[in-house]
Amino acid sequence: MKDKTETVAADWKALLKKTPNADAVQRLVDVLGVQKLTGRVIGRGAEGFRGVANDGPTDYLRRMLAEQLAPGEVRDQQVLRDIERWNRDRGGLMFERLFDAADKTERYVSVWEYFATRIETEDLYGLAERLFHETLHADGASANMQDQPALLAVWRRLNRRRLRRESVDWLNEQISLALPISLRFADDLLYYWAGQHGVVLDDGWSAVRRAMLDQARRVYSTPDDLLRTVVDTDSERQAYALLHFVRPPARREQVDIEPQDRAWLAPLLIEAAKQKSRFVVRNLIAMVGDHDVWAGLPENNPETLLERIYRLRPEHVEIIFGDYKEHDVAAVYQPGESPA
């Protein structure tokens, strides 16, 4: 059976053939601008348009038919007034409503994101800074982007704007502010804001990454400095903050630790493993190898069935630990178990 999206245009044409005054019907439907039913395009501007054709957070056709807002819906006018007030003097409840939204499905954030085109780019950067600051202040080491829907909404809004060369300096500063408080948050800033859908131009990622490593060297001079910025939990979101710092997910295959980083990072990680072994060793194992790699066992026998295994990457051990690799193995080694 065909998907409705494939047949709807043909079904519409078939219906019109047997409809009185079909030209008049089509003329009005053209004004509605519903993608698959229009005969000619009547430009109405995509942003801020709240018509029947809109596939944004609000189904305006259903709203018209119900003649009222659905339970739990947020009034557009409330969001628009909040934005207008914030644009005027940074007052009103917009910031608090965004910051307090804890759930990805929070209606206020999705409606706000839809109308955020009414906020100038410079002001959106300012809003992001304030959200970073408040999130770090409120959540400390456990701060992260995914738990803050408003941050994701601001990020999406900004990465659709014209990318700017100066965003590299801006992002460097934000990461510098995050590193002493939450390594996870700093990782997220690099991943989201400098990544493929980030706000930096061309190879801005490399510049931000380099600055992040340099700044981390200044901030994390002792294991305590590092360990107070991470959270030792089993939550996937927090458990691999160190791994993502050393091998950022965006470029996981190219470990970019340089000799000057290694001289500082390798002894720091080894010392940290002595203090918080469960958390750090879990990260070290993932740093120097890959989980869930398909391979035959034993690997030198092509007849064996494939299994998912952990595979050590000696080249990563070398890049990350260099001459410290013996200490790394000792840190990973737990009595009664085999080294990773």
Partner 1 sequence: MFIEDADRAGNRFESRHLERLLTTLREVNRVSFVLSIDGTRGPQFDYRKLCDVIEIIPKLDPELVVRVLGAAYRHWMAEEFIDPRPKRESPLHLDQEPNRLIEYYRRTTRDSPAHAITALLQSPRRLKHLIRRVDRVWRNLVGEVDLDDLIIISTLRDLDDRGVFEFLAENIDAARRD
Residue ranges that bind partner 1, judged by CB under 8 A: 3-5, 8-9, 11-12, 15, 18-21, 23-25, 27-29, 31-32, 34-37, 42, 44-45, 47-55, 59-61, 63-65, 67-69, 75-77, 80-81, 84, 115, 118
In 101-251, alpha helices (H): 107-115, 121-139, 149-159, 167-178, 183-188, 204-219, 223-227, 236-239, 241-246
For the CB of residue 105, give the shortest distance to partner 1 in the complex, in Å: 18
* C-beta closer to partner 1: residue 118 or 237: 118
For the CB of residue 48, give the shortest distance to partner 1 in the complex, in Å: 4
**Cα 153 vs. chain centroid, distance in angstroms?**
10
For the CB of residue 46, give the shortest distance to partner 1 in the complex, in Å: 8
* C-beta closer to partner 1: residue 31 or 219: 31
DSSP 322: G
SS3 of 23-35: the string is HHHHHHHHHHCCC
For the CB of residue 156, give the shortest distance to partner 1 in the complex, in Å: 18
For the CB of residue 118, give the shortest distance to partner 1 in the complex, in Å: 7
CA–CA gap between residue 67 and residue 22 (Å, rounded)? 27
For the four alpha carbons of 109, 112, 116 and 121, in that order, the dihedral sign comes to negative
The identity of residue 185, as a single letter, is F
* C-beta closer to partner 1: residue 13 or 137: 13
Nearest to residue 84, comparing CAs of 55, 60, 54, 48? 48
CA–CA gap between residue 256 and residue 243 (Å, rounded)? 13
* C-beta closer to partner 1: residue 76 or 261: 76
* C-beta closer to partner 1: residue 30 or 129: 30
For the CB of residue 39, give the shortest distance to partner 1 in the complex, in Å: 12
* C-beta closer to partner 1: residue 7 or 233: 7
Q: What angle do CA 184, 136, 119 make, to 5 degrees?
A: 105
CA–CA gap between residue 231 and residue 187 (Å, rounded)? 14
